[in-house]
């Protein structure tokens, strides 16, 4: 099932998830990014952690690239508008390739 999500800016992401005991320095834009809906509850609260974040190929609508993996979000509640946090796959690509092609 595909769900259309909106990209939140790095600033919006940092404002939504400030420093806390789990994120001592808050969101790291190099390794994390935020996507979600500004009008619906976040997806991560529904047990979708680990799901891929895909973007369609500009030349073929049936080819997708994985750009993120769902990491966490806020708890489910009506009117929730915090985005989900995704691990940025591009940051880990060298490591992924070293393991896959080893």
- pLDDT tens column, 45-98: 666 678 899 998 878 878 889 999 999 887 666 556 788 999 999 999 999 999
Global pTM value: 0.83
* pLDDT score recorded for residue 4: 80
Backbone angles phi, psi at 98, to 5 degrees: -65, -30
Backbone angles phi, psi at 67, to 5 degrees: -110, -15
* pLDDT score recorded for residue 94: 95
Q: What is the dihedral of CA 66, 46, 86, 29, to 10 degrees?
A: 150
Q: CATH number of the domain at 6-100, please? A: 2.40.10.10
Contact 13, 27 (CB under 8 A): yes
* pLDDT score recorded for residue 93: 95
């Amino acid at each position: 099932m595909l769900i259309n999500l909106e990209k939140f800016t790095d600033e919006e992401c940092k404002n939504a998830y400030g420093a806390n005991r789990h994120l001592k320095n808050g969101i790291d834009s190099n390794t994390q990014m935020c996507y979600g809906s500004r009008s619906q509850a976040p997806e991560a609260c529904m047990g979708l952690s680990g799901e891929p974040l895909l973007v369609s190929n500009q030349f073929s609508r049936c080819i997708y690239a994985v750009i993120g993996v769902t990491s966490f979000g806020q708890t489910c509640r009506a009117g929730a508008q915090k985005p989900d946090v995704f691990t940025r796959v591009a940051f880990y690509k060298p490591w992924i390739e070293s393991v896959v092609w080893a």
